[in-house]
A and B are shown apart, each in its own frame.
Chain A
């Protein structure tokens, strides 16, 4: 491969990886920003998104239909979790939901193993997605580009929703001064429920688009949970802009590191996080709002 082809390859790979990190991290951030709940089961919901997508596709349904269905299913699971686990703890300190969602993570992981077993699964993607196309001399797999386009579309859609719709504005307002939002006549309970469903659905989207990139196994959610934590810690808790920047940064660093020194890839990512936090303890963009 030529130098340019390698550079294009690395750039695209880091965007693909960063895009998946971003969707997972933004889901966590939305839930945290609106409800001050740090959902430790978020990675497991991502895994369920991947498994659900796998099952839907293996039933013979088109991959793109699955792309729509899986997040809806994960969103419904999110609604059930919110009602049973999160809502009763609303008035308590964050530590309660932290412990509960930690337990929930193990429960969901067990559930995954019970339903789908321990062995890795592979999503049967449509034939055209298995092709490669030539971009500046590199033969790039179409399914990776599909992931890239999907994550970009989801992010653009989310930004338009938050910035251009009335509901989006209410969510942004609720992430800053929830009490005043109540005083304008909006029921914060519905906002909490909606935010949780939205966050979980985003984990589901990330899961199904990431499915073809890796093997689907019961532990895939743990790695992703940690990576998305790194993203929101570096970007600044709750900050959407910070998450975009941090996700792309980590995507790039991890891809570069994997290319040059595979064994140290994650070490380098964590070292970078440590250095950033040493100088900017609140993350690059500060503990943030939805902007």
Chain B
């Protein structure tokens, strides 16, 4: 695969909630096998960006290209079938379904390579194997996040888009989930776009970072090294 193959490219999208113009001209891209983060404070439009990509809140104008397909007016199920896995901040684990069923309904064969299976997910997250027949909604916050990540992996996607994986987790669990995302979503060659307020987590998992300020405006792009060298950039963007 060529190095510069772009899995995701967003050009000048404008997204509204009703009359509220939430994203005002956002552009970004993610290359294959790259882990990218969008860093920004609460309410700048990070979640809306992901919902725009997913087709849940379709942009009114602009263009989104996923793996060569223009997906701007596509409903979520078509975007998903193209190979986009969504891990929402709320996890959205299905109550009434067991851990195993939550994984099985998402399972899809990948396109070549070694597919991720139920066994593989249980290998990654032994705690889910222990809870396989338990109602998914009875899991703890951290376990639900693992299940949501497992559910994304088992669909063998081309790209995972992840909304605030650290949200609502204790500092200890944030460290654990960070490691999980790093090991299974990044180091395994998966393509990842993650949205975070927690810059420590974002710096650990992603190598390129978009800094977002209000209305989805990108005010800076930096590599992890640049952000580590110049912490002031982060403070300017994320400090309240």
Q: What residues of B have a CB within 8 angstroms of the CB of A169 in the complex?
A: 97, 101, 104-105
The reply to whether the CB of A290 lies closer than 8 angstroms to some CB of chain B is yes
**Cα–Cα distance between A172 and B101 once the two chains are bound (Å):** 11
Closest-by-CB residue of B relative to A186 is B77
Known: A166-B105, A185-B108. A176 touches B56 (CB 8 A): no
Residue-wise, chain A 263-277 has the 8 Å CB interface mask toward B (1 for contact) of 000000000000000
Chain B residues 125-158 with CB under 8 Å of chain A are 151, 155
The tally of residues in B whose CB lies under 8 Å from a CB in A reads: 21
Interface residues on chain A, size class: 20 to 34
- B96 near A289 with CB under 8 A, answer yes
Q: Least Cβ distance of B58 to chain A in Å?
A: 12
Known A166-B105, A183-B86: A172·B94 in contact at CB below 8 Å: yes
Q: Which 9 pairs of residues, A with B, have the shortest CB-CB distance? A: A185-B80, A182-B76, A180-B92, A173-B94, A185-B81, A183-B86, A289-B96, A187-B77, A182-B77
B residues sitting closer than 8 Å to A (CB atoms) are 54, 56, 75-77, 80-81, 86, 88, 92, 94-97, 101, 104-106, 108, 151, 155
B105 touches A173 (CB 8 A): yes
Q: Which residue of A lies closest to B54 (CB)?
A: A183
User: Could you list which residues of chain A lie within 8 angstroms of chain B, going by C-beta atoms?
Assistant: 166, 169-170, 172-173, 175-177, 179-180, 182-188, 289-291
State how many angstroms separate the Cβ of A109 from the closest Cβ of chain B: 36
Q: 21 A-B Cβ contacts within 8 A?
A: A173-B94, A176-B94, A179-B92, A180-B94, A182-B75, A182-B80, A183-B54, A183-B56, A183-B76, A183-B88, A184-B80, A184-B106, A184-B155, A185-B77, A185-B80, A185-B108, A185-B155, A186-B77, A187-B77, A289-B95, A291-B96
